[in-house]
Chain A
Amino acid sequence: MQEFYLGVDVGSVSTNIVLMDKDNNIVSKKYLRTQGRPINILQKGLKEIKNEINNFEIKGVGTTGSGRHLANIILGADIVKNEITSHAVAAINYVPNVRTVLEIGGQDSKIIVLKDGIVTDFAMNTVCAAGTGSFLDRQASRLGIAIQDFGALALKAKNPVRIAGRCAVFAESDMIHKQQLGHNQEDIVRGLCQALVRNYLNNIGKGKDILAPIVFQGGVAANKGIKEAFVEALDTEIYVPKHHEVMGAIGAAILAKEEIKEKRTTSFKGIDIAENEYNVKGFECNDCSNMCEVIEIYSDGKVIARYSDKCGKWTNSLNSENQKLA
């Protein structure tokens, strides 16, 4: 029987799952669109893995991403970590002397500065989503281009067009204006790549020392146009790891492996949870003026989790119910 570690990254746009062996080799990876249904997509991914690989045992589970707590409830994780730490750990695994990690995901983008294998500084985008994957997604569909072809098209451009990059809404109107003027599509696409990179470096990278070796990861790293725009702007080589789109999940798996060294046994609920029936119900608690939107997760008719209440009344009542059951 083979022994693997499971890493799960539930993000706003994609849900990523990796299966990793004890030497940090990736046995299987899944990159699935979250589509606002994280639980179902997570189950779908597990099912696919189960059908692909026979006879294995999960030794440990780590979850990360904005949906890491939800994933923990479903899976029973050994470690629940934020995206910054997970991405940093994964980058160090591939490039041990990495100094800068550029990560662009669906709703957020981050820069992580490292020294001697530890994180010394980081920044994430503030309230605005310009300079993230969603921005590109949106503009690609505006132009009627599949996001997969975006990068290759950008590389064909000879005279990139300047497009305002500070705000997604401004960029869109600027882009439409350039279209009406009759510019080539590839020049506009290249211009968009440069606008995103400019915005990223001015906003997130502001005041940071961006030193080589640089690792570029996240879903957007698949886009060659963006990578080229970074190389141009920073004037150094940029390394895009093979599994760049699932680095968060890889980090979570590595962290789970470390955790299991001390913890010994996993809390994983078993691969068969892929077959369970989950329902989510929400209600507005009217007991005080906060009017929290409480969320309940049911598995086979039983409440397994309740959260999002500020005062903790609902969360705690569930904990005490569980204790009684135990």
Chain B
Amino acid sequence: MGQKVGIPQGLLFFDYYPLWKEFFSELGAEIVLSSKTNKDILDRGVSTCVDEACLPVKVFHGHVCDLKDRVDYLFIPKFISIYKKEFICPKFLGLPEMIKNSIKDLPPIIDIHIDLRKSKINIVNSIIKGGKYFTPSLIKISSAYNKAFKYYEKYIKLLNQGIIPMDAIKMYNSSITHKTKDNDNKPKIMILGHSYNLYDEHISMNVIKKINNKGINIITPEMIDENKARKYSSKLPKRMFWSFGSKIIGSAFAIMEEIKLDGIVYVSSFGCGIDSILLDIIERRSRKETIPFTLLTIDEHTGEAGVNTRIEAFIDMIKWRKKNEAHISTHG
């Protein structure tokens, strides 16, 4: 059995898991995941993390606590930039340091730097650095990365077909390549937010399934092709230099222009600096297009009544509006 590499199921997990998993597995490591977010992980995260951090960062701390005693290495890359001339959220820049400072008795952390801000060369060094933990052979590392990247591309392809990441993660290394077609007559709601808020069923109180189960088709930013999203976000008067920003704004604008959308739900964790700007830009645009918009703010609450009431009322309103539109069109 190879050495155990622990991957916390938090933050960028839903963005890159297939790439990370296949890369380390190919090099002979055994991948160990933390449990899905639960009350215990949340409690441990809140008690170890500095108080000012946002909820997803606290949850990530909880995942590290959950993993640290059962693995040889923890994989916590230091994300600085994932695209030319763009930055990722500042909290990611210091994530490995934050973890090392807050949590005791950690196994060694593989904290390679991901920085594509100036050029793509850096990433090659980082990949080699990450691979060297398991093999000295550059050829092995390079072939492992290439194989992993193929899986990652397939994962992205699945997402772009409209499959939610929770399902796509189970499908990317199987033979299933497409999803069953949505019933087009159902109302369509776009659910916006950071991947680590949307797809974590505990933090988001399962908002995606809750909306889906009420007979609504859902669209999330991950389902929109990255280049298309970037094209739309570049229409903003000022360049969006946050990668999350160009993804969320770009995908929202693309969908608002290309299909008839019935509503937008924005899931934001309390105190998120990037969201405070994004959701205002999107809300203004949706108002112009007369698309209903609602914000769900999440924090450590465990009572689901607030979220449920808002979702229920929002969907009621959309169905009411739709019924009324149908009414007008038959008479006029």
Contacts and interface: CB of A to CB of B under 8 A. Distances in A.
B284 A291 contact: no
A118 B39 contact: no
Given A207-B287, A289-B39, A126 B317 contact: no
Contacts of A304: none
Contacts of B321: 118-120
B17 to A, nearest CB: 21
B73 to A, nearest CB: 24
A245 interface: no
Interface residues of B, number: 30
Nearest to B66: A289
A289 B38 contact: yes
A85 B312 CA distance: 9
A71 to B, nearest CB: 13
Nearest to B305: A66
A122 B313 contact: yes
What secondary structure prevails in chain A residues at the interface with B?
loop
A84 interface: yes
A26 to B, nearest CB: 24
Given A66-B305, A126-B297, A291 B312 contact: no
A118 B317 CA distance: 8
B313 A83 contact: yes
A119 to B, nearest CB: 5
B67 to A, nearest CB: 14
What secondary structure prevails in chain B residues at the interface with A?
helix
A119 B317 contact: yes
A207 B35 contact: no
Given A127-B297, A207-B283, A85 B324 contact: no
A66 B305 CA distance: 6
A82 B309 contact: yes
A173 interface: no
Given A83-B309, A127-B270, A290-B39, A120 B283 contact: no
A32 to B, nearest CB: 20
A82 B40 contact: no
A97 B176 CA distance: 53
Contacts of A127: 270, 297, 299, 301
A289 B317 contact: no
B317 A290 contact: no
Contact of B38 (A108, A120, A126, A288): A288
Contacts of B299: 127
Contact of A122 (B40, B283, B317, B324): B317
A119 B284 CA distance: 19
B291 to A, nearest CB: 10
A124 interface: yes
A232 interface: no
B96 interface: no
A81 B320 CA distance: 14
B64 to A, nearest CB: 16
A149 interface: no
Given A85-B316, A121-B292, A207 B324 contact: no
B294 interface: yes
Contacts of A155: none
B3 to A, nearest CB: 26
A84 B309 CA distance: 8
A271 B39 CA distance: 40
Contacts of B309: 66, 82-84, 124
Nearest to B40: A289
Given A83-B309, A126-B295, A291 B287 contact: no
A123 B287 CA distance: 13
Interface in A62-86: 66, 81-85
B292 A120 contact: yes
Contacts of A118: 317, 320-321, 324
Contact of B294 (A81, A123, A291): A123
A26 B268 CA distance: 41
B41 to A, nearest CB: 8
A110 B38 CA distance: 31
Task: Name the residue in B293, B316, B324 with the highest tally of chain A Cβ atoms < 10 Å from its Cβ.
Answer: B316
A288 B202 CA distance: 14
Contacts of A207: 283-284, 287
A289 B312 CA distance: 28
A162 to B, nearest CB: 26
A61 B162 CA distance: 41
Nearest to B316: A85
Interface string A112-136: 0000101111111011000000000
B147 interface: no
Interface string B179-222: 00000000000000000000000100000000000000000000
Nearest to A209: B287
Contacts of A66: 305-306, 309
Interface string A94-112: 0000000000000010000
Contacts of B310: 124
A236 to B, nearest CB: 21
Given A108-B306, A127-B299, A290-B202, 20 more contacts: A66-B306, A66-B309, A81-B316, A82-B309, A82-B313, A85-B317, A118-B320, A119-B316, A119-B317, A120-B290, A121-B293, A121-B317, A122-B294, A122-B313, A126-B295, A127-B270, A127-B301, A289-B38, A290-B38, A290-B39
Interface of A: 66, 81-85, 108, 116, 118-124, 126-127, 207, 288-291
Which 4 pairs between the two chains have the least Cβ-Cβ distance?
Answer: A84-B313, A289-B38, A126-B297, A82-B312
10 contacts: A66-B309, A82-B309, A83-B313, A84-B309, A85-B317, A121-B293, A126-B297, A127-B301, A289-B35, A289-B40
